[in-house]
Amino acid sequence: MLSTVIPVYNEVDSLAPLHEELSRVARREGYELEMVFVDDGSTDGSWDQIELLAARDPRIQAIRFRRNFGKAAALSAGFAAARGELVLTLDADLQDDPHEIPRFLEAMGQGLDVVSGWKQVRHDPWHKVLPSRVFNWLVGRLTGVRLHDHNCGFKCYRREIFDEVRLYGELHRFVPVLAAARGWKVGEIVVNHRPRSFGKSKYGVSRIVKGFLDLLTVYFLTGFEQRPQHLLGSAGLLFFCLGGFGLVALTVVWSLLRLDGNPENDIHLHQRALFYYSIVAVLLGGQLISIGILAEMITAFMGRERATYSVSRRIEPARHVRPPAAEDGPAQDGRTQDGRTSAADTSALAAEGTETSREVATGEPPGLS
């Protein structure tokens, strides 16, 4: 089964055409399709439209939030409700073309676990395109996951990924990065991007600032989630050593100038900016190291029930299997190499069975008559 998760926020006019396109693709390709609509606090009647569609189509699931919680929350709710082995996400504004779905599934069939769409030709204003390209370059440089369009909401995932990747805040655009950090295979395909037919964009300039802050969070989570002291402690040691070196150097210079007996050559440490910079560096270094130790303690406590690895496959030992027979001679259980019982052992087993029958009939142990 293929599940499509569609976050909705004030897209009442596009829901019916989107449902029709998805149904048409499913009929043409023979897909067992599930549609999960998540209304993220819409105020324009989107939920009423979803109810009408669900009344006519049993393949539709729908979730309605009490207020707007954000796209990551909507996707999390949709992923939790989805029942398909593959989960495809697309926006409800009709800019993502459902006719690209077969190409997503073809790419997934080549061994990928996440396939991200790349809107190579974008029908968006320049003030959205230019910051997006800079952002994608930064993400690739910092995380090593080099996709052309991390912000594209048109993606396909294996369902198991969301047993290991948790979404919150606005980390939905970083699911490929978080999945790659756990060892899942990530790829991308070029997709058709259509102009917006209804409504208006829900994102403004503030998205750039939030995206950069989220990138710092993802960089920390993917690189230092299980070893925060490696980042904080390294920075702390650097500042501590620089500050300590400055203080030692000032102390040596002050002492040498004092030894020459000429008061005119003396320096006053409180008049030197380097003195204060060094003190601040030592204090900052100590704080960073202390925060790193606390982060390590929190990680050790909170991570006890969470696996720090991701398993691709397992081979379990078979149960109740006899050990392989020796190459020469009968097996120890009285069977020959072809699995049949030898004649001598058959006679011994028959005699043992006679003695056992006698014990049951007379109540005497065998060999006491």
Tell me the three state secondary structure of residue 257: helix
Q: CA 71 to CA 203: how far, in whole Å?
A: 11
Q: What is residue 13's DSSP assignment?
A: H
Q: Which of 222, 184, 5 is nearest to 108 (CA)?
A: 184
The whole-angstrom separation of Cα 4 and Cα 53 is 15
Window from 52-61, 155-164, 205-214 with minimum mean pLDDT: 205-214
Angle between helices 12-29 and 101-108 (to 10 degrees): 60
Q: What is the mean pLDDT of the chain?
A: 81
Q: Say what the pLDDT of residue 304 is.
A: 61
Running DSSP on this structure, what letter comes out for residue 366? T
149-193, pLDDT tens digit by residue? 888 889 999 999 988 888 877 788 889 999 998 899 999 999 998
Q: Which has the closest alpha carbon to 36: 59, 70, 66, 15?
A: 59
Q: What is the radius of gyration, based on Cα positions, of the chain?
A: 34
Is 332 strand, coil or helix? coil
In the DSSP assignment, the letter for residue 195 is: P
The reported pTM is: 0.67
Give the mean model confidence (pLDDT) for residues 305-329. Answer: 64
Beta strands in 22-159 (DSSP E): 33-39, 60-64, 86-89, 114-118, 155-158
Question: Confidence class of residue 203 from pLDDT cuts 50, 70 and 90?
Answer: low
CB 23 within 8 A of CB 57: yes
> In the structure, what pLDDT confidence band is assigned to residue 201 with cuts at 50, 70 and 90?
low
Question: How far apart are alpha carbons 102 and 87 in whole angstroms?
Answer: 13
> Pairing between strand 2-8 and 86-89?
parallel
pLDDT at site 326: 52
The span from the CA of 364 to the CA of 357, in Å, is 10
